[in-house]
Amino acid sequence: MRSSDLAPATRRERARARAVASFTLVAAALALPRAALAYCRTSVCPETQSTAAVCNPQQATDCGIPLAWPSPCVSYSLQEDASHQVTLAEAEAIFEQAFATWTAADCGGGTNPRMEVTYLGPISCDAHEYNQRKGNANIITFRDDGWPYGSGGSTLALTTVTYNLKNGEIYDADMEINSFDVTLSMGDDDVTFDLLSIATHEAGHFLGLSHSAEVGATMYADYRPESTMLRDLDDDDRVGICSVYPPGEPVEACDPTPRHGFSDLCAEDQPAPKAGGGCAAAPSPGGGGGLLAAAAASLGALARARRGRAARPGRERAR
């Protein structure tokens, strides 16, 4: 059933029921030993080629190299169709604000994270993918016609980060919003599932943060329906983002072009790479075929961690 077939009240009740179930799971999961930890960074464990969270303070059980974009200039693109619930213009305004919340974080003494996030405009591609031999885009797309991850509607969004398994450099990040199951709202009135809260949380994943055990943090794993509290950063979030991208010299000559060049087309619609031309024939530094993996993090169903489930060789997905 398409979500547009449902009456608003019915959809809202269903969504709320799912959210309550999700909250129960989250509470149970986070009552375990990590409850005392604060912000965490998504990390790669080279020995096991798996992802984990490295938290502050670091524990003996933490492993791995924290992920980060290697350049302070990163871009994103919005899928041009946006959603039946959200116009492209509305989505553009909300995601601009979500990223700005992170890049304008107060790192102390009037400094900010050394990171610029640039919007490259709408694109046609709606696939979350990273292309080793073709152009790329870090896409944000709404899933109006179905949520492909079988979460029973408890997942509000999913961010997939592709990175170098050896050094943790992020190559690509794509964000999917579950507009099929979830009644999104914008603004301060009649809040259902606040898109700006969801966007701000997912932007944290996009930039390399994992879930925090701090209940008030934007990177806490759960969203409380009808709230807007994830719009603003908590101290824990600020310390986290400032640790990933410490303040430094002003970013000059910023080039936010995605890895292997920008393309507004999905790989299947791009022309085949020419042999010997451009980056098509150039091996990615440290990022050959077997070295890539993807970690995915989602807001809402995160208690249902499924770490270590290999989606395909060299690629891992964790929620």
Residues that bind Zn ion (CB under 5 A): 297, 299
Q: Which is nearer to Zn ion, 259 or 319 (CB)?
A: 319
Taking the complex as a whole, the smallest distance from the CB of residue 221 to Zn ion amounts, in Å, to 6
Considering the complex, state which of residue 150 and residue 277 has its C-beta at the smaller distance from Zn ion: 150
Return the residue nearest Zn ion (CB atom): 299
User: Which of 21, 33, 56 is closest to 217 using CA atoms?
Assistant: 56
In the three-class reduction of DSSP (H, G, I as helix; E, B as strand; rest coil), residue 30 is classed as helix
34 exposure class (CB count in 10 Å sphere: 0-12, 13-18, 19+) = middle
Compute the least distance from the CB of residue 299 to Zn ion, in Å.
4
Residue (42 or 263) nearer to Zn ion, CB = 42
Specify the residue, 266 or 297, whose C-beta has the smaller distance to Zn ion: 297
As a residue count, the chain comes to 319
50-55, strands of its sheet edge to edge: 50-55, 40-45, 65-66
Min separation Cβ 198 and Zn ion, Å: 9
Q: Which H or E element spans position 199?
A: helix 195-206
Residues 53 and 22: their CA atoms lie apart, in Å, by: 21
In the complex, least distance from residue 258 CB atom to Zn ion, rounded to whole angstroms: 23
Between 199 and 299, CB nearer to Zn ion:
299
Listed in sequence order, the residues at least 6 apart from 103 whose beta carbon sits closer than 8 Å to its beta carbon are 112, 113, 115, 116, 117
Query: Is there a contact between 229 and 38 (Cβ–Cβ < 8 Å)?
Result: no
Minimum CB distance to Zn ion, residue 220 (Å)? 8
